[in-house]
Amino acid sequence: MSDNKKELFEYVDSNNNDQQIEISKEDFEIVNKGARIHDVKFKSKPTTFLKDAFRRFRKNKSSVAGGIILGILLLGAIILPVALPSDIDSPHLDEQFLEPKLFPSGTGFRDGTKKYTDFKIAYDTVNETPGGFSKEAVLDDTLELMETEINTVNDYAYGGYVNFYNSVSTTSTTSMKSYPIEFNFENDYSLHVEFGKEPTSTTTMLGGYSVTFSYLDGEEQKDFLIRDFSNDYSDLDVNLTDLAIAAGLEEKAYSNCSVSFNLDYESGIVSQLLVKECTVESSNSEEQATLDEVFFDDANKMVRTARSTNGVDNIGYWTSTGNKGVYKSTLVRCNFVYDTYVAKFGHVNQIISQNTLNNYIQNGWMSYDVNVGVESFKILDENKCPITKVYSQTYDSRLGTVSLNCEVLKYRYLGYDEMPIYLLGTDKYGKDLLHSIFAGLRTSLLLGFGTAAVCITFGIIWGSISGYFGGNIDIVMERFTDILSGIPWIVIMTLCILHLGNNFGTFILALCLTGWIGVSSLTRSQFYRFKGREYVLAARTLGASDFRLIFKHILPNSIGTLVTSCVLIIPSVIFNEATISYLNLGLQGLPSLGVTLSENQQFINSYPYLIIWPSVIVALMMISFNLFGNGLRDAFNPSLKGSD
């Protein structure tokens, strides 16, 4: 090289000493000459904003879990209301309060049974079943019995004493008198009475009493004493005929005869007489039935039958002028497991009309000849025929049709081929709870998405105008939203529903009236953030209109943040809808989760599953929506993370 000469440079080093360096052009070398240049385009695909956000979202495990649960619930809300065969539009009063069932009965878990514990249910000793429950539906080996003593009348109790007593203020003898009977000297009558030996409480005492027998002699009512006034509570066993002869009665038949107990009074204390049983036996067996009816050996039954007669003073076939009750009667109480499905769908007695009967005959399930009657009943198809037994046939002369009183398999009678299974049970209208919940969820979601759509649209427009233009326009618009947001949503919703009725449209309107404010203020803040940026200025200098700046340049930058934040509108809509239902202003005409919740609230003690499941679903929905929404927002806008 011709100019290959060293040149001398002078410089000052860090210690302020003058230095000299001799350097030539060759001493410099291009660094990457021949080396690989790294400043090239990547062959791998560049990641987009969405992909990046999704990557961040996936890192957040709880949000993913929330998203999955949400997905399942959404899928359920879409598929289940369509797929489930049960009908929830009309009440099915034959299918009320069925317990949740998934497994066969007897497995103990979700088997459609209800457990009755703590011996609360009275046992019907006559029919050998818990009182008022179907015997068929009580699970074998689950019945536990316990005898208890009660001092009140109960349909299923037996025995005890008739407690016949004065009130404290009584000042004359009171009496308890049997229903009139016939007394005939042709027969032999013996009276047996058993008394209680102890008073019912320390504040009462057993009073003096007499037992008399009264009879109608001609026109005159006469009587003689069986036991004179005394405090003798030993059993009374007398032959009435002998006594009658001793009393000087003529040996003939007397009508209008009765036995009566006369209780003396004692001032200042309740005196009482306890009668365990009072029976009369006749040597004439034909009379015995009548006598058994009038006299009693079951105190509870005697007092209980009194309740059905209208006369205030009647107790059974006895009249009395004092007070009477039952004391120490035995009531068997029981614990048992009850299969609600068998109870509702098993064998029950039912009146079948002729139309239904003809239907069954036409289907070839059974044969029956109305003219022959009950004997002609024959089951042809064991697996289909609803009727299992025919008790009697009634002819309605007015309509000219017959009806059968028979035992049916209820589920077949209701038109099911098999006993239906309700996974979450049924409510007070007999509606499938699972179906109700998910149909309600669908409505809630529709409401949520509808509201979110309207809110986003309107909020974005309002917020962009307010945020973009700023100044006085912004102030006026802000004041407007200030005022609107000052009204509690519950007030707005109540007013809307009172004026416009509780239908879907009103709900959307009412929810939107407050819902859009959040979106608009978010949009406004986003606009404040972006409108001063250089790229906006550049677009403006190039002559872009306001409209173009707002919708083409600024809004797309903030749309991700906006939309993800709006996911959180949906759970708040579900919450609002449920809350307003509790004020009896719930959505009508469509299945609603809130209405299901608030209506089932009254069964929280008796049928807890009715409130547990809707609550669980709402809670799950809210949690998963919040998890998902927060995760989404964090993913789209990492700077916001943890700052809420």
Partner 1 sequence: MKSYFLKRVVLIFFTAFIILSLTFILMKMLPDTPPAGFPAQVQAYYFDQVSLGYVYDMTSLRPDLGDYLYSYTDALNVVHYFYKVPIMQQYWNFLVNVLTRWDWGTSTSISVNSSAIAIIGERLPVTMELNVISIVIAVPLGFLFGIIAALKKNKLTDHVISTLVMIMISIPSFIVITFLLLIFAYSTGWLPSQRPSSTATSGEIAKAFIIPVCALSFGTIASFTRYTRAELCEIMSSDFLLLARTKGLTRTQCVIRHALRNSMVPIVPMIIGQFIGILSGSMILENLYGIPGIGRLFTDALTAKDYNVLMVDMAIFTLIGLAANLLVDLSYGIVDPRIRMGAKK
Nearest to 338 by CA among 157, 154, 102, 132: 132
CB of 490 to partner 1, least distance (A): 6
Nearest to 243 by CA among 257, 262, 231: 257
Range 556-575, binding partner 1 (CB under 8 A): 571, 575
CB of 583 to partner 1, least distance (A): 5
476 binds partner 1 per the rule CB under 8 A:
no
CB of 561 to partner 1, least distance (A): 18
Q: How far is residue 565's CA from residue 560's CA, in Å, rounded to a whole number?
A: 8
Closer residue to partner 1, CB minimum distance, 550 or 618: 618
Query: Which 3 state secondary structure label does DSSP give 451?
Result: helix
637 binds partner 1 per the rule CB under 8 A:
no
CB of 21 to partner 1, least distance (A): 43
372 binds partner 1 per the rule CB under 8 A:
no
Instruction: Work out the number of other CB atoms within 10 angstroms of the CB of residue 349.
Output: 11
Among 92, 582, 590, 637, binds partner 1 (CB under 8 A): 582
CB of 489 to partner 1, least distance (A): 8
Write the CB contacts of 358 (distance below 8 Å, at least 6 apart in sequence): none
622 binds partner 1 per the rule CB under 8 A:
yes
Query: Which 3 state secondary structure label does DSSP give 639?
Result: helix
611 binds partner 1 per the rule CB under 8 A:
yes
Residue pair 177/319 in contact (Cβ under 8 Å)? The answer is yes
Question: What is each CA distance from 227 to 242, 259, 294, 449, in whole angstroms?
Answer: 14, 11, 20, 88
145 binds partner 1 per the rule CB under 8 A:
no
Return the structure tokens found at 215. Answer: 């009879």
Using CB under 8 A, which of the segments 311-319, 344-352, 455-463, 608-616 binds partner 1? 608-616
Write the CB contacts of 104 (distance below 8 Å, at least 6 apart in sequence): 111
Closer residue to partner 1, CB minimum distance, 146 or 604: 604
Among 92, 579, 590, 637, binds partner 1 (CB under 8 A): 579
Closer residue to partner 1, CB minimum distance, 199 or 571: 571
Tokens 């999704």, residue located: 54
Q: How far is residue 422's CA from residue 341's CA, in Å, rounded to a whole number?
A: 9
Kindly write down the DSSP assignment for every residue of 53-71, as one continuous string: HHHHHHH-HHHHHHHHHHH
Partnered with residue 114 across adjacent β-strands are 338
Q: How far is residue 466's CA from residue 522's CA, in Å, rounded to a whole number?
A: 11
Return the structure tokens found at 93. Answer: 């009063």
Closer residue to partner 1, CB minimum distance, 224 or 582: 582
CB of 491 to partner 1, least distance (A): 5
CB of 337 to partner 1, least distance (A): 18
612 binds partner 1 per the rule CB under 8 A:
yes
121 binds partner 1 per the rule CB under 8 A:
no
CB of 481 to partner 1, least distance (A): 11
Among 583, 588, 589, 638, binds partner 1 (CB under 8 A): 583
CB of 598 to partner 1, least distance (A): 9
Among 48, 90, 605, 639, binds partner 1 (CB under 8 A): 605
Pattern of binders to partner 1 over 482-521, x per CB under 8 A? xx--xxxxxx--xx--xx----------------------
Query: How big is the site for partner 1, counted in residues (CB under 8 A)?
Result: 41
CB of 573 to partner 1, least distance (A): 12
Using CB under 8 A, which of the segments 45-53, 130-138, 375-383, 626-634 binds partner 1? 626-634
Burial environment of residue 411 by CB neighbours within 10 A (0 to 12, 13 to 18, 19 or more): buried
Among 393, 592, 596, 626, binds partner 1 (CB under 8 A): 626
CB of 571 to partner 1, least distance (A): 7
Among 58, 479, 533, 552, binds partner 1 (CB under 8 A): 479
243 binds partner 1 per the rule CB under 8 A:
no
Range 47-86, binding partner 1 (CB under 8 A): 62
Q: How far is residue 412's CA from residue 634's CA, in Å, rounded to a whole number?
A: 56
Q: How far is residue 615's CA from residue 542's CA, in Å, rounded to a whole number?
A: 57
Return the structure tokens found at 68. Answer: 């999955």
Query: Which 3 state secondary structure label does DSSP give 105?
Result: coil
Instruction: Work out the number of other CB atoms within 10 angstroms of the CB of residue 528.
Output: 14
Return the structure tokens found at 173. Answer: 């003898």
Pattern of binders to partner 1 over 177-196, x per CB under 8 A? --------------------
Q: How far is residue 434's CA from residue 76's CA, in Å, rounded to a whole number?
A: 10
Q: What are the φ and ψ backbone dihedral angles of 238, each rounded to 5 degrees?
A: -130, 155
DSSP 100: P
Closer residue to partner 1, CB minimum distance, 311 or 486: 486
Closer residue to partner 1, CB minimum distance, 469 or 575: 575
Closer residue to partner 1, CB minimum distance, 281 or 599: 599
Kindly write down the DSSP assignment for every residue of 515-534, as one continuous string: HHHHHHHHHHHHHHHHTTSH
Q: How far is residue 274's CA from residue 611's CA, in Å, rounded to a whole number?
A: 49
Which positions lie near partner 1, rule CB under 8 A? 62, 479, 482-483, 486-491, 494-495, 498-499, 571, 575, 578-579, 582-585, 597, 601, 604-605, 608, 611-612, 615, 618-619, 622-623, 625-627, 630, 642-644
